[in-house]
Structure 1
């Protein structure tokens, strides 16, 4: 079988990926089957640099807090002093992926160097497209709501159009600790998401976003397009967080499904906004970018199913969205050893190359009705590629062995 699939294999290069797609999509999504492995991020960095230099891509969006990502974007695009690289890595990434990742650090350093001396219209941009969400908790909506209110207060000519004062907003928000209480993830009764104040905040957030929309022509001229786009981000984040907190307080059996769906809903709307900016490379877990339904088992819940950000965006953008998944052979330092030969990863592992890009459509045709066993991971942090998803993938990157990066 390994001999049969050799014709589907190509070098890992941006031009190869583009040839598989036929046309340049606005959103090129590169998935990964696990997080926190720098060899996967090194590959991402290499492809992004080629996409920038050869294909005109100018934005990279990663699975990180969209509000924190503004810190990185300011650093790579501003000629002024916007803090040190160490500070940006500490404050510009969520999920602990800043200071701990040499590859993310190299991405930021490269983007800053690329932009040096270039006009702003030609700058490489950085974005996080996840919500301000962690596994243990969700952020308070304070930062996004107050930033949106401040923008409108300064930009709207008629102050009477604002639905509330900054003081009233601060009073309703209260302290941040109840919003970020980690106990609320396991116990809905610990959440403040359906309190009287939270319900009022949802209405006010909706009114603030509506005001932003109705004043669009004036605000873009009175401020700037970049400032207006950031205000839209504040609005999406505020309304999304308040909706997320609402469902954290829900005790029904569909609670976790709603939370997972809401997270990807926030991701999808951030990606759609980035698509308006221009060609963007998106990097996240395969499960957030695939066209098929995502699934997960959590705690004592039955199998959870929801539509990923990729599925939502693909439904809206059509051919302007492309998904290239990543599969891998081994992560030996995590107990993931050589895949069984009757799995998809096992077939690919038998090929001699260390890494390659695969024409997924051609591979599916070549395999035909060949039965493939699903790979089972001994480590919870790695999700093997479901062979049934192959027909929903535009391309496949395979990395034979993920190794711990050697110290310089």
Structure 2
């Protein structure tokens, strides 16, 4: 059911104060004209100026299933590539599987739709993400290799892509070793499946043996591997082994210490893998595409779990002011998500939220009347009243791939739509916010995703 939240957002308990704050906010925001990625970049120049000094640009999203968020991020990536020379695009997707996407955007090899489908993320198998991939390929066509944009995933949730890469690598680098570890490679391969703990479905003992055996081999025979393949392929193979290890660490954390521990392992792994990608590609800047809960500078606030340090918090610690976290918010409109529980049997469908909470950031942005608005928190300047308001914890929209409705599996206070409005001190968590008034669902590439 879709709710018209436009009028609700202007009816706060203190209308005069909301109107006063909205007037102040209008003086600080930049209104964007469109989400169309092919449009002129003129309206994006203030956004580009805010991002110009950042080595890592974290591009968030308030849901994993909103078309306008994807289109706006596409626009920003295009402007960063064309106008600021950015040459590394990183994504919240399993690192080994995205080698197929990199092969396409850099060399024109393979099928981009199939490569997106191979990431195991329904969230990215959409026409909006495919449009960005196709544009990256178009931009790279005919350019010197060193000037082409590279595409790297940074996630570590599955073993299957890493196992496939290692198997193919060892077939060339050391066929005898491949035969020796063949059974453990097969048992380590989770085939893109998860356990009932929502973690990689691999064989623990075989995976531990594989890690021990190949870690020793890379330490002792790295030069031989490089001679048989190349330095770049050997580095990627070693990173794939590290992804297997990260995936294993996440499962152990989940089984022994709970979901928060698993979240911590995952976000630490993504930060490590992004730093590796910068070094591996020789790029000095990266645009990072991920969820708001990951890119924020503070904590990953997941529905029904305690907060844990986010990917962005690790990046902020490593890069300081060279990291820019851009969050997203929206007033109303439908989006795609999996209903109720994250299992293969869950329903991927279209959902919407009720009116935003009172005194939320969402309501204040809506009161400005803006359709698309960008706020850089540094741009609030000397407006002490506005800065004081934002210094308090405020709610904004935030949900990932899962929608928890009031008809959830239990009737606790945590059920319902409050789970999808995360409370943060926004200037601590993000450097800027992009607001979209009305959203539409992302569009899947297959009929089953529509």
> Shorter chain as normaliser: what TM range?
0.7 to 0.9
Is 1:210 the counterpart of 2:212? The answer is no
Q: 2:372 matched to 1:355?
A: yes
Distance in 2 of aligned mates of 1:141 and 1:223: 17
- Counterparts of 1:271 and 1:406 in 2: how far apart (Å)? 28
Could you say if the C-alpha distance between residues 313 and 48 of structure 1 is closer, same or farther in structure 2, counting changes exceeding 3 Å?
A: same
Question: Which structure 2 residue ranges, 5 or more long, are not aligned?
Answer: 1-20, 33-42, 336-350, 405-416, 445-450
1:169 Cα deviation (Å)? 1.3
CA displacement at 1:3 relative to structure 2: 0.4
4+ aligned runs moved over 6 Å, structure 1: 177-181
Confirm whether residue 94 of structure 1 aligns to residue 115 of structure 2. no
Please give the alpha-carbon distance, in whole angstroms, between the structure 1 residues aligned to 2:130 and 2:202. Answer: 35
Distance 1:246 1:317, change over 3 A: same
The residue number in structure 1 matching 2:72 is: 43
For the Cα contact (< 8 Å) 2:104–2:137, is it kept in 1? yes
Structure 1 segment 3-402 matched on structure 2, within 5 A: 3-12=23-32, 14-21=44-51, 23-79=52-108, 82-91=109-118, 93-99=119-125, 101-133=126-158, 139=160, 142-147=163-168, 149-150=170-171, 152-153=173-174, 165-175=177-187, 182-185=194-197, 192-193=203-204, 195=205, 197-211=206-220, 215=223, 219=226, 224=230, 226-248=232-254, 250=255, 252=256, 254-276=257-279, 277-278=282-283, 279-298=285-304, 303-332=305-334, 334-340=351-357, 342-363=359-380, 365-370=384-389, 374=395, 379-380=403-404, 383-402=420-439
| Residue-pair matches, total | 376
Report the Cα distance in structure 2 between the residues aligned to 1:33 and 1:47, rounded to whole angstroms: 16
CA shift in 2, pair 1:281/1:377, >3 Å: closer
- Cα pair 2:393 2:425 within 8 Å, conserved: no
Structure-2 separation of matches of 1:94 and 1:187 = 13
Segment drifting more, 45-54 vs 107-116 = 107-116
Q: State the distance in 1 between where 2:217 and 2:165 align.
A: 11
Q: TM-score, normalised by structure 1?
A: 0.80
User: Distance between the aligned counterparts of 1:266 and 1:49, measured in 2?
Assistant: 27
Q: How far apart in 2 are the matches of 1:112 and 1:187?
A: 33
- Indicate if the aligned counterparts of 2:326 and 2:433 stay in contact, CA closer than 8 A: yes
Q: Cα offset for 1:37?
A: 1.5
Q: Secondary structure at the match of 2:92?
A: strand
C-alpha change, 1:78 and 1:40, in structure 2 (3 Å) is same
Query: 2:152, 2:398 → 1: CA distance?
Result: 31
Q: 1:186 to 1:119 in 2, by over 3 A?
A: closer
Per-residue deviation, 1:307: 1.4
Task: After superposition, give the CA deviation of every residue in 1:317-364 in whole Å (9 maximum; x if it has no partner).
Answer: 223322111111113462224434521110011112211210224449
Task: Note the aligned Cα RMSD (angstroms).
Answer: 3.4
Distance 1:404 1:179 in 2: 29
> Does the 8 Å CA contact 2:397/2:422 hold for their aligned counterparts?
no
Structure 1 residues 387 and 305: alpha-carbon distance in aligned structure 2, compared to 1, 3 A threshold: closer
Where does residue 157 of structure 1 map in the other structure? none
TM-score norm. by structure 2 comes to 0.73
CA distance 1:68–1:206, change in 2 (3 Å): same
* CA distance in structure 2 between the aligned counterparts of 1:306 and 1:15, rounded to whole angstroms: 34
